[in-house]
Amino acid sequence: MKWVHRGALIAGLALLVGLLWRLGPGALLHQLRVLGSAWLALVALEGLAEAMHVSGWRHCLSGRLRQLPWIRIAMIRQAGMAFNYLTPTAHMGGEVVKGSLLVRWGGGAETASAILVGKLALAASQILFVAAGSSIALWLLGPPLEVIAAWLGGTALFSMGILAFFILQRTGKLGSLFRLLHRRGWGGRATERLASSLLRVDQTLSGYHRDRPGDLLKAMAWHIGAFHCGLIQAWIFFLAADLAHPLSSGLVVYFLGTWFDLMGFIVPAGVGVQEGSRVLLFHSLGLASVSGLAYGFTLRILKVVWAAVGLLCYGLLASGREEASPS
pLDDT in tens, the chain (327 residues): 555 555 655 665 676 677 778 787 888 898 999 999 999 999 999 999 999 999 999 999 998 999 999 999 999 999 999 998 887 665 677 888 999 999 888 888 899 999 999 999 999 999 999 999 999 999 999 888 999 999 999 999 999 999 999 999 999 887 775 565 555 555 556 665 666 677 888 889 999 999 998 999 999 999 999 999 999 999 999 999 999 899 999 999 999 999 999 888 777 667 778 889 999 999 999 999 999 999 999 999 999 999 999 999 999 998 864 544 433
Question: First CA to last CA across the chain, in angstroms?
Answer: 39
The Cα 250–Cα 255 span in angstroms is 9
Is 34 a domain residue? no
- Cα(267)–Cα(183) distance, rounded to whole angstroms? 37
User: So what's the pLDDT on residue 37?
Assistant: 95
289-318 and 93-102 are packed helices; what angle lies between their axes, rounded to 10 degrees? Answer: 30
Note the Cα 290 to chain centre separation in Å: 25
Asked, for residue 325, whether it belongs to a domain, the answer is no
> Is 75 contained in some domain?
yes
State the pLDDT at residue 222: 98
Asked if the structure places residue 299 within a domain, the reply is yes
Answer whether 254's CB lies under 8 Å from 133's CB. yes
Residue 20 inside a domain? The answer is no
Is 119 a member of any domain?
yes
Cα Rg, the chain, nearest whole Å: 21
- How many angstroms separate the CA atoms of 217 and 211, rounded? 13
In a domain, 91, yes or no: yes
Q: How far is CA 73 from CA 27, 114, 295, in A?
A: 41, 11, 30
Q: Domain range holding 79?
A: 43-318
Contacts of 53 (CB under 8 A, 6+ apart): 77, 122, 222, 223, 226
* Residue 30: inside a domain: no
Look at residue 119 and give its three-state secondary structure: helix
Question: What is the pTM assigned to this prediction?
Answer: 0.88
pLDDT at residue 90, rounded to an integer: 56
pLDDT of residue 326: 39
Q: What is the DSSP string of 199-260?
A: HHHHHHHHHHHHH-HHHHHHHHHHHHHHHHHHHHHHHHHHHHTT-SSHHHHHHHHHHHHHHH
Backbone angles phi and psi of 264, in degrees to 5: -100, 30
When divided into structural domains, the chain yields a total of 1
Count CB-CB contacts under 10 A for residue 327.
10
pLDDT at position 94: 85
